Every structure is written in structure tokens, then in C-alpha cells.
Chains A and B, each alone.
Chain A
């Protein structure tokens, strides 16, 4: 019962470096989401996907890119990391858009020095 799996769990980057966060779900869900969680703030939507091959911008998309080449995978990329991107990143999925993000991964803790 894997659900939503995120890799890596922790990462430290230097300013200007790039990296890709991986998210995989085994529930055949159409909808996938990337959020960031910062202290004192609610989760904020970065990008989302309504199906294989589709992506769309959320509330805070600047500095991030995403791809959904396969239905089960949703990748989040940071092209040139900035200290403001230090955060905990959560991937989520849902069967329908009305269900809201149903299942979350356990997050990737990212520090940008």
C-alpha cells in the first residue's frame, strides 16, 4: 500500500544549483499536485496536473517547473535554487478534482544555502 512516494526525503542545495523532486503514485489517480509548506502558512499550490501530459500553474509557480510524462509520476524541478525555496514540498494525488488532494506523500525537506 505505497500510495504516494516522494524522493528524496531530505536535500541540501547551494544557491543556483538545480534539482528534481520525484513523486510516484500507484492508485491510478488522474490528478496530481505539488505543494510547499512553510511555517505559519497553509499549504500553497505550486503546480498541478489533470492527467498524463498536462500541467498547470498554481498559486506560487515562479522558479519551478513540472512534467507529467507518465500518469503515475509527477516531477518538480528547481532550475536555479534560491534560499526562498527552502521549504517542505509535498506531492498529492486525487481520483477526481472534486475530491481535493486526497493522498499526500511524506514530503521532501529542502534547504537552500
Chain B
């Protein structure tokens, strides 16, 4: 069964600290993996998209890693800011003749001053 599991469910950190969010998937055949940031009351906004051959991709203070062998991805946030408070959603795409997108339930991050 194609599944995407994210951990932790929620996380509270102090401003300026780093954090890492995890995404484990059992999706086959794998096509790509995307991380989204969703602010409260807004739609998801894409942060990065990674294909099978990519190990690391950065977008400012956000760095995503992908280990296709262990089927794990992480999103590392450096020097967190109050504006990083949001839900972070991992989505894995499976190429099954047509494409199927499996959404994780997200990690809710709260950054405190």
C-alpha cells in the first residue's frame, strides 16, 4: 500500500534554532517527492521537488534530502524564524501508468520568540 508518514506530528522550537522534519514513504514506483509549506488559512506552497537521482536540494534556509534506498526524506530548517510557523507537507508521486500523488498528514511547526 502506498503511504507517506511524517514525523513528528508537531514540533515547538525557539527562534534561531534548527530543526529537521522527517518523511518516510512506501511508494512504488517512485517518481518524485515534494515538500510544501502551508501557513494557517492558506494553500500549500511548494518548497522543493526532488527526483530519484537527487540527494539534496536547498531553497534558502530550507534543505531537503532524499535517500531513495531507505525511502526517507528530511526537511532541515536552519536558523528558524517566526514566519516558519506552519505545517509542512511531504507528497510523493508514484508513476503507475498515470501519476498518483500520496500526501502525508504534515508536521505542524511552531516557532516561539
* B43 pairs with A102, CB closer than 8 A: no
> Per a CB cutoff under 8 Å, which of B32, B42, B101, B105 touches A101?
B101
Would A97 and B98 count as touching, CB distance under 8 A? yes
Q: Which partner residue on chain B sits nearest A33 by CB separation? A: B101
Contact A107/B43 with A42-B102, A97-B99, A98-B31 known, Cβ cut-off 8 Å: yes
B45 at the interface (CB under 8 A from A): yes
What bracket does the count of chain B residues touching chain A fall in?
Answer: 20 to 34
Q: Determine whether the beta carbon of B43 is less than 8 Å from that of A42.
A: no
Q: Count A-B contacts at CB 8 Å.
A: 47
Residues from chain B with a CB closer than 8 A to the CB of A97 are 98-99
10 closest cross-chain pairs (CB), A and B: A42-B103, A104-B43, A43-B103, A106-B43, A97-B99, A104-B44, A42-B105, A106-B42, A105-B43, A100-B93
Listed in ascending order, the chain B residues whose CB lies under 8 Å from chain A are: 4, 31-32, 34, 36, 41-46, 49, 89, 91, 93, 95, 98-99, 101-106
Interfacial residues, chain A to chain B (CB-CB below 8 A)? 4, 40-45, 90, 92, 97-107
